[in-house]
Amino acid sequence: MGRMLEKAMIIIDDGFEEMEALGTYDVLRRGGVDVQLVSVKENLRVKSSRGVIVEAVDILGNGTRFKDYDVLVIPGGPEYEKMSENENVLNFIADFDKAGKLIASICAGPVVLEKAGILEGRTGTCYPGFDQYLSYGKLQQNPVCIDGNLITSRGPATSIYFALTILEAMGKVAEAAIIRDDMLLGYMEYNIRHETFSLTKADVELIKAAQRTISKCYEAGAHMATAASGVMGGSGEIYTAVNIVMDHGISSEQAAISAALAAGETEITTVVTVKGQSGRHMVMPDGASRQTILETNPEAFVLVKAPDGVKKMKIADLLPQSVN
């Protein structure tokens, strides 16, 4: 998907799961996405699985009015049973997939995708137990899984990761990184995982290099720079890059990784991402970049800021998604 994706729709029926639908809606809105709730029944008022009534902006019907949307989201909840029998929904999903557009589904939602005939042989995940109804070629246990134009996730607790992954896939990597930080996701990830390792002199030099990079960009007038990343290759060389809000579609981590690989590095050993003019504020690298680094080196580390100082942790312990 080379162009920036702008429009997303979340289809809902009575019984939709609140966190998966409305939490995703919230994150996409924060990221500047034109996202709409669309009812698949002949009524705009839709009741969630726990009695929350929301009013959709439109009704799906046969879907002809929604062909210009870039992203389709199907949340879980008991609604999946009715959606699985709705021919308009199934045909719309099948056409969306044939067009190569981004489809994201969570929890029991992939059952609807199965009924639409788009899961056979794919790699994905779902709520535990629902895999028996799916024809995945490969089932993942990761919180979020990406396979081409398909994003799947496990359930309510993974909704934020699910939504952030959709944002990243839409080309809004910078926005996703900012939201991750604002919502304290990195803070929670650190507090869930406790195994840490001692910092080395090389780690300190990596942090300083990232800080110098963002300071230099600010001094050069790149006032929209929000983050800089440093990665250390297996050779011990350091590569840095900065993310500019205007340059959608690539994060500072991805740029630094690309520079390292272009220079002939075969693995990344450590990554750090900093924010602010001085780079004193450290944030968690984005999920897609963590996955890329893990693929080059299963023992790679990330440097993160914790309440009691900078900590060194294994990327594998903090990985929110699987990319096929």
Can you tell me whether residue 53 is helix, strand or coil? strand
- Alpha-carbon distance of 74 to 116, in angstroms, equals 12
pLDDT of residue 319: 58
Share of the chain above pLDDT 90, in %: 63
Q: Among 3.40.140.10, 3.30.479.30, 3.20.20.70, 3.30.910.20, name the CATH number for the domain at 190-323.
A: 3.40.140.10
Asked if residue 245 has pLDDT above 60, the reply is no
pLDDT of residue 217: 78
User: Domain coordinates of the chain in residue numbers?
Assistant: 7-171, 190-323
- Alpha-carbon distance of 246 to 34, in angstroms, equals 18
pLDDT band at 224 (very low <50, low <70, confident <90, very high): low
Asked if residue 148 has pLDDT above 90, the reply is yes
For 278-307, the pLDDT digits (tens) are 888 888 787 778 888 888 999 999 998 776
Architecture of domain 7-171 in this structure? 3-Layer(aba) Sandwich (3.40)
pLDDT of residue 247: 42
- Alpha-carbon distance of 301 to 17, in angstroms, equals 35
Query: Per the structure block, which two tokens stand in for 190?
Result: 């650190």
Active site members = 107
Residue 317's alpha-carbon distances to 83, 166, 294, in angstroms, are 36, 21, 10
- Which pTM does this prediction carry? 0.70
Which amino acid is present at 16? F
pLDDT band at 220 (very low <50, low <70, confident <90, very high): low
For 248-266, the pLDDT digits (tens) are 456 889 899 999 999 999 9
Mean pLDDT of the chain: 88
Residue 214 — φ and ψ, nearest 5°?
-70, -35
Specify the pairing of strand 281-283 against strand 268-275.
Answer: antiparallel
Asked if residue 17 has pLDDT above 90, the reply is yes
Q: Which of 59-63, 159-163, 222-226, 306-310 ranks highest by mean pLDDT?
A: 159-163
Is 190-323 the same fold as 7-171? Answer: no
Q: Write a three-state SS string for 248-314.
A: CCCCHHHHHHHHHHHCCCCCEEEEEEEECCCCCEEECCCHHHHHHHHHHCCCCEEEEEECCEEEEEE
For 162-199, the pLDDT digits (tens) are 999 999 999 888 888 888 888 888 777 666 655 678 89
Asked whether the beta carbons of 224 and 246 are under 8 A apart, the reply is yes
For 134-143, the pLDDT digits (tens) are 999 999 988 9
Place of tokens 């500019």: 244
Asked if residue 246 has pLDDT above 80, the reply is no
